[in-house]
């Protein structure tokens, strides 16, 4: 049975409930009860007959700041970065539906005792899903608060038994130019497929999530369907979307953004207000939704506010050097 829990490290879900979120949640529950989830949440529903509403009751969380209300679903799914579909924020919502996500499988290879493939069905039925509300901070200095549904990446990696030599994890996104207009563009600067990487201890950290849904729904294509990484203490570009390959290595993997501009985008890319991007400050962020008249500017926190949980991963490291 899939356990569906709410896990809210540091940040509380919300004091303000965007109506759409609540409605979506209610629809999810209704659909689960009626057994009509095939089109939206095929496996989640069949596995969760006892699905209970996850409440976003105002006042439920003591001391949560008003600015940490959930970002409305509409903003999280229409203001995206997914360069495979173009570089405008609206491109992923407009074009990512062209990506075929069924069938889907993820290859796990490299320094593991049991290399193999996971089909999406195995992913959805084989791991305990949880809902986690995380801050999400893009290197471009905007941020959101998103309720993800997923499971710890560690659970997946452990299944393949990393060997004692494994020190890093390298990820790749699907590369299917026919369906991804951004990869065919003459102005495209990325050497596809999109690649990212983590140190093994970062990958195994309990906060590191493989997400398969958000706001109680399966991941929309523009957010990285059918499964993506979410590393809440790092800049958003580390949270690679639509993953097809996971390789355990003993060498630090090359990542797309580092290859493109290493002086701007480091391998670690931990959120840090003290380390400016060479072209802009990282001291503040625009919490979406934000506008010219209501910029919703909030101070950026070290490790995006998750320092208590993750700072020990970097003990003794010069965070300005290893940005
Ligand atoms: N993954 C792939 N494959 N391609 C991308 O262009 N963009 C990254 C990251 N993952 C990106 C990606 C960046 S820059 C950010 S900020 C986040 O996805 C955005 O996630 P969101 O659109 O769900 O907010």
| Full pLDDT tens readout for the chain, 323 residues | 344 444 444 443 333 233 344 334 434 433 333 333 333 333 343 333 333 334 333 333 333 444 489 999 999 999 999 999 999 999 999 999 999 999 999 999 999 999 999 999 999 999 999 999 999 999 999 999 999 999 999 999 999 999 999 999 999 999 999 999 999 999 899 999 999 999 999 999 999 999 999 999 999 999 999 999 999 999 999 999 999 999 999 999 999 999 999 999 999 999 999 999 999 999 999 999 999 999 999 999 999 999 999 999 999 999 999 99
pLDDT at 211: 98
In a domain, 136, yes or no: yes
On whether the pTM is more than 0.95, the answer is: no
CATH number at 293 reads: 3.90.420.10
Q: Total domain count for the chain?
A: 1
Between the CA of 49 and the centroid of ligand 1 the distance, in Å, is: 33
Give the range of the structural domain holding residue 103, as residue numbers without chain letter.
2-314
Is residue 321, in this structure, part of any structural domain at all?
A: no
Radius of gyration of the chain, Cα coordinates, nearest whole angstrom: 19
The answer to whether the beta carbons of residues 243 and 101 sit under 8 Å apart is: no
Lining residues, ligand 1, CB within 6 Å:
80-84, 138, 173, 194, 223-224, 236-237, 239-242
Residue of minimum CA distance from atom 14 in ligand 1: 237
Distance, in Å, from the CA atom of 89 to the CA atom of 81, rounded to the nearest integer, reads 6
């Amino acid at each position: 049975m899939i356990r569906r829990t709410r896990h809210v490290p540091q940040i509380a879900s919300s004091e303000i409930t965007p109506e759409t979120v609540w409605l979506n949640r209610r629809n999810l529950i209704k659909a689960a009860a009626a057994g009509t989830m095939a089109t939206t949440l095929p496996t989640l529903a069949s596995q969760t007959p006892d699905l209970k509403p996850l409440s976003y009751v105002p006042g439920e969380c003591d001391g949560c700041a008003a600015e940490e209300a959930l970002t409305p679903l509409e903003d999280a799914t229409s203001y995206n970065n997914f360069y495979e579909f173009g570089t405008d924020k609206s491109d992923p919502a407009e074009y990512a539906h062209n990506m075929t996500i069924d069938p889907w499988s993820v290859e796990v290879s490299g320094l593991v005792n049991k290399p193999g493939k996971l089909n999406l069905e195995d992913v959805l039925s084989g791991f305990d899903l949880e809902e986690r509300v995380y801050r999400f901070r893009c290197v471009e200095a905007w941020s959101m608060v998103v309720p993800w549904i997923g499971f710890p990446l560690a659970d997946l990696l452990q299944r393949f038994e990393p060997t004692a030599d494994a020190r890093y994890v390298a990820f790749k996104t699907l590369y299917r130019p026919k369906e991804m207009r951004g990869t065919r563009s003459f102005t495209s600067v990325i050497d596809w497929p999109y690649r990212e990487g983590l140190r093994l201890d970062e990958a195994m950290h309990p906060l590191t999530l493989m997400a398969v849904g958000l706001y109680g729904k399966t991941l929309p294509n523009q957010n990285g369907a059918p499964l993506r990484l979410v590393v809440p203490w790092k800049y958003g570009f580390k949270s690679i979307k639509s993953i097809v390959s996971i390789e355990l290595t003993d060498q630090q993997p090359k990542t797309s953004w580092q290859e493109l501009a290493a002086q701007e985008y480091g391998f670690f890319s931990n959120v840090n207000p003290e380390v400016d991007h060479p072209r802009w400050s990282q001291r503040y962020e625009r919490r979406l939704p934000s506008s010219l008249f209501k910029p919703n500017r909030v101070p950026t926190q070290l490790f995006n506010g998750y320092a208590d949980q993750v700072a020990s991963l970097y003990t003794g490291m010069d965070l300005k050097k290893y940005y």
